[in-house]
Structures are given as structure tokens and as C-alpha cells.
Homo-oligomer: A and B are copies of this chain.
Amino acid sequence: MAESPAVSVPSSSAPSRAHARAQDEREPPVMRWWGWGEDARAGALPPHALAFLRENVGVAARPCPPVALANVRLRAAEIGADVLAALREIVGRDHVRGSHVERVVHAAGKGYPDLVRLRAGEPEDAPDAVVLPADRAQLQLVLELCARSRVAVVPFGGGTSVVGGVAPLRGEHAAVISLDMRRLRDIELDRESLLVTVGAGLRAPALEAYLAGRGLTLGHFPQSYEYVSLGGCAATRSAGQASSGYGAIAKMVVGVRMCAPASELALAPFPASAAGPDLRALVVGSEGALGVISELSLRARVAPAARAYEGAFFESFDAGVAALRALAHAHAAHDVARLSDEEETRMSLALAGVHTLKDRLGRAYLALRGYRGGCLAILGFEGADDEVAGRRKRALALVRRAGGLPVGTSPGEAWRRSRFAAPYLRDELLTHGVIVETLETATQWSNLLRLRAAVARALAETLGAGGTPPLVMCHVSHLYETGASLYFTFIARQREGEEIGQWREAKEAASAAICAHGGTITHHHAIGRDHARWLREEIGGEGVAALRALKAELDPAGVMNPGKLLA
């Protein structure tokens, strides 16, 4: 007889993972109802920035703050008493909420039209109740109840959507609940496998804090990082600022559970599989329209010992793009890579303040005076000491070969310090009567410059025709071997009394330009409400039909997040 295999591990029927379990005890923070973040973090616009705005786009005659909370008008809650009673039965009396402040906080996400309406005290709608399940079992019961009762369900994680993803739309249903996931925030770590399993309501900073204490990181840092939930990141196929190195959330989700009215879809965290289509990819990006992500198993990484964030100047955007492409093709992997165009470079230097300019760029800036109108790139490297040194050296050699001028770490560190600041700034611009909106896409390298030109032209023409010529800025980020994303920011004077119409015209023009010129309608903001009509352009009629067939299976009553994604 042959030798029996030499093995040393006893078997049992459950995986032998030595798992650390924890519950994040801190109550997740709640953002101010009318804008981004918390008051403590916000600051008024400095005088030189206001002067820049006045000079370039114009500002309102006087600041226009949001109305008082008590003056926000909500329609009366319409949910049936029997449904409320049944919800209380499932999640407990304290976790079915209908106060004015709860309804306002869950009335919208943080997109431009959301903020315009909230500040005016006129949200489009509000949930009839806010429901906070404690665990997967309660979640499943809530969904089944809502399906039976024909109550629309809008999942709510951190509430950071900028595309209307958490707007309490009812669809054809009389009532709508906001399903706040904040209580599902267990953490379980399989250290040996670098696999961390979390409740979907867990916030990104809470996970990073837990992992940091164990020498690990997830590496997912979207601009919404400070408030975003991990379930929300997965549901929207989020990509963090360091995605060129760490990958977008889709690459981090190894296993996932999704509760749907029909039943639960549970996909084990195999590192890889060839067992039919990858259903994880159906759950990631499902935006609450097929079900609610309840639990995620995420790939962690060893926390980087070293970090180097560098600036580099290029004479033109085209030259910078060529350099980033060379870096992506050579796998000279940076973890963060972004290249601002001339306009964005000019504006970010101006907003940083003339008095801090020298501090930020130091002597290198002086050497660059000839480079007027140049483009600033930020390249960030993270990892083990020797690894960072090696990658940095290789990357900067490529940058130089492509005509770039490395200008040291000051601009990189400045960017890193302010990487989550833009949404606070937006609130200040709104106070001063300035529309600021961002939109993003991705395309092949061979199409990148052409797509950028088309979108920028569409925005300039549309807003210019409306009498409010904009500043249109763009940066490249999120590098891939075959292409990259483009992120546009535009600012203009608000058209008073027509703020939403002005926004809609610009958004429509930009979206049409993106679809007509070979871009995806969204690289990382998701579909939500604002892009729903463009989904068919992207995946075709048969793609939409396939998703509808899935929805019919998982959510036959059509209560899950109506008015979004498949609307």
C-alpha cells in the first residue's frame, strides 16, 4: 500500500481560524444635516480664497447660511401603524425612529442638489421612519416585512452618497423607511489569512483604527473616508484615493453576505474560485437595489512602515498623462497617483493662499517660475522601507525621463493633509452663492485626452450659455494598465432661484459628453439616482434586462431602493 499522505493538522467540521472578535463600541458620528462633516472640523473661507472666487466666477452679495433645523419642511410620515408596530417588534422600540431630526438627517445624501435643497429647508422627501436593525437576523425580518407590506427600503450607511444614493424615494410604494446600518459593526480577524470580516455598518475609520492596533490596514481611503460605511463602499463599488496601489473596494471584498427580501445570498471568502460566474461582483455595486449588504470579508494588508508622497511638475497635462501611463505600464507602482491639469493646479495653489505657496513648494517652486501653467502630480508610495525606496527611485526615474520635474515631498504632504477637506470647502462655497460639483469617469489611455476635452467643453459651453461661465478643472487618478479615471471639478456663480436647474443642465451635458466619447458614466461615485438614466448607455438593454431579472428574483416586490440604479 502507498504511504498515506504526510499531514499534521487534525480535522474538524469548522475552519480552524484563530479569530479575534470585537464590537466597535463607539457610536458612529453623524454629519451635520445640511452639509458635510461636523461643525468642529469646518472653517470659514479665508479672504484670499474668497477674493479668488470673486475674481474668477463671482460670489453672492451676501453669505446665505442654511435655514434652522426647525424650519426644514417635511411631509407628514405616512407609514401604517401596523407596520410600525411590526418593525418595533423586530428591532425594538428605540430603533424605529421618527423624530424631526432623524427624518431630516436621513432625508438626503451629500450631493449638490441634496445640499441646495436641505439648506433651503426643502428636501424632496424624507423617510417615514428610520429603522436600525441590530444584526443580520433582524435585517432579514425587516426586509421580509417591508416586502409583504409594500414599504420601500432605502439602505443608509454613512449617508455620504453624492449621486442621490440614499434619497428616500418611494417608487410606487406609499411609504419608505431609511434602513440605518450603524448597529451592524462587528469585527472578526483571521490574522493568518489577512482577512477581516465586518458588519456592513462599520465605518472605515473604525476599521482602520482596529487594524492599526494589529499592524494592519485596509487601504481604502475615498474622499468620504471619515464617514463612510464599509457596506456603503461595497454597494457603490467605491475606489479610494490609494486605489492605484491597494485596489478599489471590489478587489478587497473576498466574501460577502447580502440580505434580500427573497432570502440571503452568502458567498464564502475563498481567495479565488472558478465555480461559475463571480456572484460577489453582483453584490458589489448593487447599490441596495437587489438587497442590503450585511457583512463583508475584506482583504487587509500589513500596514506600511514607510510612506513617501512626492510632488512632480509637468509642463503640460499631455506630458503628465504620458508619464503616468508609462508608470502604469512599467508597474512602477505608486499607491497614490494623481495629476492635476493646468486649471486645477492654478486653483489649488491659489486656494492654498499666496502666503503659503512658498511653504508648500519650497525652493523647487522658485525654480519653476518658467513653468507657468504647469501641472502638478502627486505620487505616493507606501510599504516596507526598502520597498518604498526602490519603487520611489524607479518611479522618479521614469518621471524624469518623461520630462517631469520632481519637487520633493512638500506638495505631497500638503495634499495628504487636506485629502478629505474638499467637501467642507463645498459648504463654504454654497454659503457664498457658488455652485461646485464634481463628476468622474474612466477610459482607455488612448482615449483619455479626447474624453477630457469633450467633457470640459460640454461644461464650459452649457454653463457659459446660462450666463455663469465656470472654471473647469480636471485630474487623472486611479491608474490602471489599460487606462485611468478623470475627475472633474467645476465652479461657477449660482443662478439664483434656479440652482437645481443650472446643476441639472451642467450634469446632463457632462453625462452626455462622457457617454458619447467613450467614458464610463461613473468610475467611483456609483449610479444612485443621478446616473440612473445613463446606465443603459453603459451596459446596454440586455445588461439592464439581466439586472432586472436578478432584481425580480431577489426582490420580487420591488421594495429595495426604488428610483435608483434600475429606475
Residue ranges of A at the interface with B (Cβ–Cβ < 8 Å): 1-11, 13, 15-18, 56-57, 190, 192-195, 236-239, 248, 250, 254, 260, 262-287, 290, 299, 301-302, 316-318, 325, 329-331, 341-343, 373, 383-384, 386-387, 390, 394, 442-447, 449-450, 452-454, 456-457, 460, 464, 469-472, 474, 478, 480-485, 516-527, 531, 534-535, 538-543, 545-550, 552-554, 565-566
7 contacts between A and B (CB under 8 A): A16-B447, A193-B444, A254-B482, A273-B520, A274-B522, A275-B538, A277-B290
Chain B residues with Cβ under 8 A from A275's Cβ? Answer: 285, 520-522, 526-527, 531, 534-535, 538-539
CA distance A550 to B290 in the complex (A): 14
Give the residue of B56, B278, B299, B522 whose beta carbon is less than 8 angstroms from that of A273: B522
Chain B residues with Cβ under 8 A from A541's Cβ? Answer: 263
Task: Say yes or no: A282 contacts B546, CB within 8 Å.
Answer: yes
Task: Say yes or no: A543 contacts B265, CB within 8 Å.
Answer: yes
CA distance A65 to B274 in the complex (A): 33
Task: Say yes or no: B15 contacts A299, CB within 8 Å.
Answer: no
Task: Say yes or no: A469 contacts B1, CB within 8 Å.
Answer: yes
Chain B residues with Cβ under 8 A from A329's Cβ? Answer: 194, 301-302
Task: Say yes or no: B274 contacts A237, CB within 8 Å.
Answer: yes
Given contacts A250-B278, A538-B273, is CB(A457)–CB(B550) below 8 Å? Answer: no
CA distance A317 to B539 in the complex (A): 47
Task: Say yes or no: A273 contacts B446, CB within 8 Å.
Answer: no
Chain B residues with Cβ under 8 A from A9's Cβ? Answer: 449-450, 452-453
Task: Say yes or no: A299 contacts B517, CB within 8 Å.
Answer: no
Task: Say yes or no: A483 contacts B527, CB within 8 Å.
Answer: no
Task: Say yes or no: A265 contacts B540, CB within 8 Å.
Answer: yes
Most B CB within 10 A of own CB, among A452, A517, A542: A542
Given contacts A193-B446, A343-B3, A449-B8, is CB(A276)–CB(B547) below 8 Å? Answer: yes
The chain B residue sitting closest to A163, CB to CB, is B274
The chain B residue sitting closest to A472, CB to CB, is B5
Q: Say how far A140's CB is from chain B's closest CB, in angstroms.
A: 12
Given contacts A5-B453, A457-B5, is CB(A282)–CB(B271) below 8 Å? Answer: no
Chain B residues with Cβ under 8 A from A549's Cβ? Answer: 549-550, 552-553
Q: Say how far A278's CB is from chain B's closest CB, in angstroms.
A: 4
Chain B residues with Cβ under 8 A from A325's Cβ? Answer: 192
A-B contact sample (17 more), CB < 8 A, given A11-B453, A277-B283: A4-B457, A7-B456, A8-B449, A9-B450, A10-B453, A15-B450, A15-B518, A192-B446, A194-B481, A236-B274, A265-B539, A268-B538, A271-B483, A275-B531, A276-B566, A277-B282, A301-B329
The chain B residue sitting closest to A272, CB to CB, is B442
Task: Say yes or no: B546 contacts A265, CB within 8 Å.
Answer: yes
Task: Say yes or no: A263 contacts B542, CB within 8 Å.
Answer: yes
Q: Say how far A233's CB is from chain B's closest CB, in angstroms.
A: 10
CA distance A452 to B547 in the complex (A): 38
Give the residue of B330, B331, B542, B554 whose beta carbon is less than 8 angstroms from that of A262: B542
